[in-house]
């Protein structure tokens, strides 16, 4: 099993469709006793939250977010945790909106130390 997500910051490696998470979005993860949660923001997302469980290298969670245009949306995601050769963590995700139509896949990776964190001005 890959190491804990607790205290890690992850970011998408590519932009999704407009109005969704993108490379400027940062996810601040927490993990304890099989529970996972994260706050996220950046790009078109003003504020987001995800919560779920981890079993081995599999995550299962739901997410909700508030976008810059004032709309909210939510969905479900299943992810596989992968440890990269350089020791960073990658999540390979399959997601589906529950509040609107759409589904897809995405990849988020641990932000390397020394990379600037998203500030309120970027959110």
The answer to whether 123 touches 46, Cβ cutoff 8 Å, is yes
What pTM did the predictor assign?
A: 0.87
Query: 30 — alpha (psi -120 to 50), left (phi > 0) or beta?
Result: beta
pLDDT of residue 17: 66
Q: What is the pLDDT of residues 22-67, one digit of tens each?
A: 899 999 999 999 999 999 999 999 999 999 999 999 999 999 999 9
Q: What percent of the chain has pLDDT over 90?
A: 80
Strands annotated E in the chain:
9-12, 26-32, 35-42, 45-55, 58-67, 72-83, 89-97, 103-110
- The answer to the question of residue 101 being in a domain is yes
Length of the chain: 123
**Total tally of structural domains belonging to the chain:** 1
Reported confidence tier of residue 114, pLDDT bands at 50, 70, 90: low
> Looking at the predicted structure, is the pLDDT value of residue 4 above 60?
yes
- The CATH code of the domain that includes 81 is 2.40.128.30
- The answer to the question of residue 123 being in a domain is no
- The answer to the question of residue 1 being in a domain is no
User: What is the domain extent for residue 77?
Assistant: 9-115
């Amino acid at each position: 099993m890959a190491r804990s997500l607790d205290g890690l910051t992850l970011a998408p490696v590519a932009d999704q469709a407009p109005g969704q998470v993108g490379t400027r979005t940062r996810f601040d993860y927490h993990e304890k006793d099989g529970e996972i949660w994260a706050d996220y923001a950046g790009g078109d997302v003003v504020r987001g939250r995800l919560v779920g469980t981890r079993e081995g290298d599999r995550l299962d969670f739901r997410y909700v977010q508030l976008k810059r245009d004032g709309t909210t949306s939510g969905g479900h995601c299943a992810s596989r945790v992968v440890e990269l050769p350089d020791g960073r963590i990658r999540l390979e995700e399959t997601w589906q909106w529950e509040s609107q139509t759409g589904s897809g896949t995405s990849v988020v990776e641990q932000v390397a130390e020394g990379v600037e964190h998203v500030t309120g001005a970027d959110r």
